[in-house]
Amino acid sequence: MTPVAIETTLHPLPLVVVLVSLFAGLAIAVLGEHQQRLRTVLNLAAAVVKLALVLWIAILVVGGSVPEFRFALVPGFDLVLRADSVSVLFASLSAALWLVTTVYAIAYLHRSSNRARFFGFFSICVTATMGIAMAGNLLTFFVFYELLTLATWPLVVHTGSRAAVRAGRTYLVYTLGGSALFLLGLIWLYALAGPQDFIAGGSLALVDLDETRALQAIFVLVAIGMGVKAAIVPLHAWLPRAMVAPAPVSALLHAVAVVKAGAFGLVRLVEDVFGASLTSDLGLAQALAVAASITIVYGSIVALLQDDLKKLLAYSTVSQVSYIALGIAVGGALATVGGMVHLVHQGVMKITMFFCAGTFATLLGVTRIDQLDGLARRLPWSAGAFSVAALGMIGLPPLAGFVSKWYLGAGAVATGQLWVVGVLVASTLLNAAYFLPLIARMWLRPAPERWPGGTTPSRLVVFGLVAPALFTAFCTIAFGVLAGSSYSPLDWATEIVRGYVP
Amino acid sequence: MAPDALAVLVFAPLVAALAVIVAPPRATTALALAGIALTAPALWVVTAAVLGGEVVEVALAGAAPPLGIAWRADGFSLTMAWLTFVVVAFVSLHALASFPSTSDAGRRFWPMWLILVASVYALFLSADLFNLYVTLELVTLTAVAMIAIGGAPAAMRAAMRYLLLGLMASLFYLLATALLYGQTGTLDLYQVGERLGEGALATTALALMITGLLVKSAIVPLHVWLPAAHGKAPGPVSAVLSALVVKVTLYILIRLWFWAGGALDDGLAAFVLGLLGAVAIVYGSIAAIVQTRLKMLVAYSTVAQLGYVMLLFPLASTAAFRAVTFHVLAHGVAKAAMFLAAANLLAALGSDRLQRLVGADQRYPVNVLAFALAGVSIMGLPPSGGFVAKWMLLEAAWQSQGWGWVAVISAGSLLAAVYVFRVVALAYAQPRPASSVRRPGTTPRGRFGATSVAALALAVLAIVLGIASAPVLSLIDLGLPPGMAP
């Protein structure tokens, strides 16, 4: 199949959806620390408006149009914000999880200092994430990708402790180093092929290039830039260290913005720039599949060795996010669907677990795995949500994680890459090995006499901590059970992949 | 009308300077602001003419060079003049608060400030070598005086060193001008190159001139005077020194190199200049990283950032010219913001030792934000003017297959990230309990005082330059050197 340039319609909506949270962020910063009520209203209003706008875009896209906004950023190179069906997948995930994360963050930080700064940068993060979702070419992607780095750094160092500042430094070393390579790859690509917008099936397929080595090098440079944020081994070390950040930030890093942006970037790179067939012809798909497989197994093994709950979750993310890369690297319709849909599924599952981990720490002072004993007796709802998400991660039918793994496995078989099935099985066993003991501890062991610590905030705050996790746990179930219905993430991903794989 | 506007550009600040000296102190603010504000419409008129395809020229006193003084404005001069206006306008806003006209320091400050502004404008408009010399001397002398204005011993030492090296450099330049005049019989910047033959004398003259200009532009290894001079000067002065004063000699060098008929266009010399730039980028950045004082850190950052300009000589393409000119603008705005923010933090904290910055964000968020935003541009991260410049420069280096230059540009922005984030991380860090006692600053100010607003406004502008680059670039395109097609 030869990719064809898309018919777009000029529309300000993709720009508006990006700018909404930017203005909210600026307003929050200007309001200052003490306008708590107004800040909360602004935060929630911006998140709701954003979600509504994304829905509006989704309706336009379903109707068959591709709204686009563009202007010249650098001479000859346009900043393109365009909503295609892939954008909508990522944007709706981010916008929906954003809303629940905001609710959670308001509750979680109800006593923290520097909240104006926190929520200001929080909003700028979602601006960057929307920009990444709507980016219509690699330059635009790069601009928002860097903005995301800049806006998340203050969140990582938010507490200002030594450990936080050190984690922030590690984060920058990895992300800025990666982006320097990304930029070189980008310059090289444009020098070779001229400015290009994303096209399903690969914009490079439209230019006739006989530059195997150069294309391979470009792919590697850009993929390293993406791989840092997607935490592909050995570029992952920043992620576990960034766990010193407050729980909503971890949720954000792992499920909504940063890690997802990296994985999403890999999707764009493979499907919309190089195209699956060129990627495979250059031998890059295989390389990516191997890198992703190593990451999946390595992340799970290291997760097994952790005794800190958030560290365990971090390594689990390292492992799980690479399912996305694995899916697109294996190629073929089924595996690609599996990878794309995991973008959403991993998001709702992992965010549930981070919400719960934060709740455990806030209410009971529980941060280590051996402190989880009998926790379900004290916090049955949170423990329930956590367990559902963990079972989903393991891939228990009919939860969301099962759907991803099923499609990945079926895709591997269909394309004759049976070793990938081995990776999936190993990963599933390892997932079970580190998640099942947690569930067993929470539900089966007796509770301790005294909990390690924690606070007893107001009922409203407790509700703000627990409800978001219940909602995302519900999504974990719903996305699995209702996977076959129209407009489910699976249906949407299948629709996208029709454009990628004939 | 446009030639008259050229005269307004120079004479409005100059007349204001004289008026400030004779008028009573309470009129100073109004006079100074009027002198600066009047240059805006003048710039506008000239810009309109240049956009209309004109090259605006005027021969003062009705005599053309070599006897008279010729002024000439094309896209390149205008771009620099606009940078001057923007920086001067915001820095003046800062100076209104930091050098109140009723104070002793203020009475000394404002006349010199206005003369400096007039000389910088005149320099960018000058079309002959001798006139350039005169304006350059005026710029240097007023700059030296303003560094020393506070009278602190360290500042006096720095000013003296700057003065001595600056005078030596001026002598080199003057000698070269005399030699060139002897050889060619003209001082016209745009004619001297055509008439200049080859030979030892011509080479000597050009070498002298370049050396003099490099000293004044503080290009490594001739930068020794800059860090102390920029680091010890009062805030508004540092801002304008880094944003404008070091750029004027680079402007002259670029003019001579690309406009004077190719007299200087020599492959080896170009490579050496580029190499000096590369060394400046790496050395300046590392030196900035190891500083223990904020303003010295910012000053060394200037040493590094000036290096990028030097890459124009080996790359010598339209793309490189655009990139470097844009870099000069972006750096000018961002560095002025950075120095103002640093000066505000110094004033508030009583010291600019980096360790003192711990927890500064909680008390002075506006200035920390201004520093950080300016830092984004200095690092060349998007979205900012610095990014657009870096992108275009990388592209230019890539097109000419200068892989070494590509490596230096990339490394430079990573090194810049080290020193910028070092400062911001300290400001974001939580003070340990023992040191959390409030130390009263010397001049407590409101959160949104004029000084903070000036810093933040310039920083925001540095970011906006990265989004609204198109109109600026179209102005730059009107001032491309002869032989370079847009």
Residue B484 pLDDT exceeds 90: no
Contacts of B322 in chain A (CB under 8 A): 75
Q: What is the mean pLDDT of residues B57-73?
A: 73
Q: Which residue has the tokens 């000058």?
A: B126
Q: What is the pLDDT of residue A91?
A: 95
A117 vs B contacts (CB less than 8 Å): 361, 365
B406 and A159 in contact by Cβ < 8 A? no
Element (H, E) at A395: none
Interchain contact B436–A (C-beta under 8 A): no
The answer to whether residue B68 scores a pLDDT higher than 80 is no
Q: What is the pLDDT along chain A (502 residues), one digit of tens a residue?
A: 466 667 788 888 999 999 999 999 999 888 877 888 899 999 999 999 999 999 999 999 998 888 999 988 887 889 999 999 999 999 999 999 999 999 999 999 888 888 888 999 999 999 999 999 999 999 999 999 999 999 999 999 998 899 999 999 999 999 999 999 999 999 999 999 888 899 888 888 888 778 889 999 999 999 999 999 999 999 999 999 988 888 888 888 888 889 999 999 999 999 999 999 899 999 999 999 999 999 999 999 999 999 999 999 999 999 999 999 999 999 889 999 999 999 999 999 999 999 999 999 999 999 999 999 999 999 999 999 999 999 999 999 899 999 999 999 999 999 999 999 999 999 999 999 999 999 999 999 998 888 888 788 888 999 999 999 999 999 999 999 999 888 899 999 988 888 877 6
DSSP-based three-state secondary structure for A362: helix
pLDDT tens digit sequence for A207-226? 877 888 999 999 999 999 99
Phi and psi torsions of A182, nearest 5°: -55, -50
Q: Which two three-digit tokens encode residue A164?
A: 């936080």
Residue B391 has a pLDDT of 95
* Contact residues, chain B, for A172 at CB < 8 Å: 417, 421
**Closest residue of chain A to B409, computed from CA coordinates:** A180
| pLDDT of B447 above 60 | no
- State pLDDT tens for residues B298-349: 999 999 999 999 999 999 999 999 999 999 999 999 999 999 999 999 999 9
HSE-up of B438 (CA within 13 Å, CB side)? 8
Q: Which of B319, B456, B286, B482 is nearest to B388 (CA)?
A: B319
Main-chain phi, psi angles of B287, to 5 degrees: -60, -40
Angle between helix axes B403-428 and A162-193 (nearest 10 degrees) is 150
d(CA A169, CA B119): 44
* Per-residue pLDDT, A499: 80
Structure tokens at B319: 């793309």
Rounded Cα distance between A21 and A359, Å, is 26
Looking at per-residue confidence, does B470 or B55 come out higher? Answer: B470
| Whole-angstrom distance, CA of residue B248 vs CA of residue A184 | 32
- Is the pTM higher than 0.90? The answer reads yes
Question: Are A160 and B467 an interchain contact pair (Cβ–Cβ within 8 Å)?
Answer: no
Question: A150 and B417 in contact by Cβ < 8 A?
Answer: no
C-alpha distances in Å from residue A386, one per residue of A27, A348, A470 = 35, 11, 9
* Chain A contact present for B469, CB below 8 A: yes
Q: Looking up tokens 């792992």, which residue turns up?
A: A254
Cross-chain residue pair B417–A159, CB shorter than 8 Å: no
Please report the number of interchain residue pairs, chain A to chain B, with beta-carbon separation below 8 angstroms: 79
- Which is nearest to A236 in space by CA: A295, A177, A169, A155? A295
Helix orientation angle between A333-364 and A309-330, rounded to the nearest 10 degrees: 170
Residue A136, strand partner residues: none
Contact B254, B219 (CB under 8 A): no
Cβ–Cβ of B361/A153 closer than 8 Å? no
pLDDT digits (tens, 9 = 90+) for B351-403: 889 999 998 988 899 999 999 999 999 999 998 999 999 999 999 999 999 99
Check the CA dihedral B1-B89-B479-B209 and report its sign.
Answer: positive
User: For residue B463, what pLDDT is reported?
Assistant: 96
- Which two structure tokens, joined as six digits, stand for B6? 């050229």
A150 contacts in B (CB within 8 Å)?
376, 381
The token pair at A49 is 């408006």
Nearest to B414 among A161, A176, A190 (CB): A176
Question: Regarding beta strands A9-10 and A67-74, do their DSSP bridges make them parallel or antiparallel, or are they unpaired?
Answer: parallel
CA distance B436 to chain A (A): 13
Count other Cβ atoms within 10 Å, centred on residue A360. 28
B282 contacts: CB under 8 Å, gap ≥ 6: B304, B307, B408, B411, B412, B415
Query: Mean of the pLDDT values across residues B262-288?
Result: 89
Q: Is the model's pLDDT at B444 over the cut of 60?
A: no
